């Protein structure tokens, strides 16, 4: 089968995107997804997305991890898919699409920055002085110093495959607070089973944990290995977050065709 693919990236978090509005790729197997995401034998990506038709929405986002398995929400993936939709002619002032964690809203400004509204978050769990929360995907947040020199792969893998999390997996974020409204985040992602240059739901989770205003509006700048993102949100009560927006660049890298067996 020949696939027409598009490669996009958001702060170094990269994705293969397939336009599936005619349902031609409905039979894509996990093995084929894994091949396409393989950086040596395939195209290479942190994940793969299908843009599907969806009644009542501009489109549906279907997301697969690099290991070939269908997965939960991906924030940078969602932003890239919105930019892809715009580039193929779905031009809107505001986008409304459906993903694994429910409906999302998004918009693109004049500078090409894509802002994606994330799901509301109720509750942040303390876990041995660290934090666990779900921003569309589950995240483990560990605050640390000197994060650029931290062994993210080893420490992240140890947590992800610990007895508590091994079965379902969890994304592990290591976070350094630079000042009241700026943090650095590095992420070990399940499904990729390695550090990625950026993780949208992880950046969001990290920013919520590192709020600077006890109540009301917060705006946190997040530095990742792949670039900067911002997270805006309202902290309405203890561990209750609303109007969460993930904002940053999303760019087309290239497009082409590939044959899969």
The catalytic residues are 74, 199
Cα–chain center distance at 182: 19
Of 165, 225, 214, whose CA–CA distance to 190 is shortest? Answer: 165
Candidates 2, 41, 17; CA nearest to 252 is 17
Task: Please state, in angstroms and rounded to a whole number, the distance separating the CA atoms of residues 100 and 60.
Answer: 9
The Cα 110–Cα 260 span in angstroms is 38
Instruction: Pick the closest to residue 49 from 39, 58, 25 (CA basis).
Output: 25
Closest CA relative to residue 87, chosen from 53, 62, 105, 112: 112
> Which residues lie across from 230 on neighbouring strands?
221, 247
C-alpha 174/C-alpha 210 separation (Å) is 12
Degrees, nearest 5: CA angle 154-158-159: 125
Element (DSSP H or E) covering residue 75? helix 75-87
Burial class (CB in 10 A: 0-12, 13-18, 19+), 149: exposed
Cα angle 85, 48, 196; round to 5: 110
Task: Count CB neighbours of 8 within 10 A.
Answer: 25
């Amino acid at each position: 089968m020949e696939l027409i693919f598009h490669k996009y990236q958001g702060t170094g978090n990269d994705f293969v995107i397939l336009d599936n509005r005619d349902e031609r790729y409905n039979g894509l197997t996990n093995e084929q997804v894994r091949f396409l995401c393989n950086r040596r034998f395939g195209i290479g990506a942190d994940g793969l997305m299908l843009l599907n038709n969806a009644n009542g929405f501009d489109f549906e986002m279907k997301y697969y991890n690099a290991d070939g398995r269908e997965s939960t929400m991906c924030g940078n993936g969602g932003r890239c898919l919105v930019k892809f939709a715009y580039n193929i002619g779905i031009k809107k002032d505001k986008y409304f699409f459906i993903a694994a964690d429910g409906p999302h809203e998004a918009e693109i400004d004049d500078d090409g920055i894509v802002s994606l509204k994330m799901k509301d978050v109720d509750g942040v769990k303390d876990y041995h002085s660290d934090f666990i929360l779900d921003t569309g995907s589950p995240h483990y947040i560990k605050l640390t110093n000197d994060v650029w020199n931290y062994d993210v792969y080893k420490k992240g893998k140890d947590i992800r495959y610990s007895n508590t999390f091994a079965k379902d997996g969890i994304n592990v974020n290591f976070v350094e607070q630079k000042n009241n409204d700026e943090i650095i985040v590095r992420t070990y992602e399940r499904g990729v089973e390695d550090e990625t240059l950026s993780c949208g739901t992880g950046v969001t989770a990290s920013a919520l944990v590192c709020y600077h205003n006890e109540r009301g509006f917060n705006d946190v700048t997040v530095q990742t290995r792949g670039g900067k993102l911002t997270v805006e949100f309202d902290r309405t009560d203890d561990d209750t977050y609303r109007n969460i927006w993930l904002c940053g660049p999303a760019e087309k890298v290239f497009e082409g065709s590939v044959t899969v067996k």
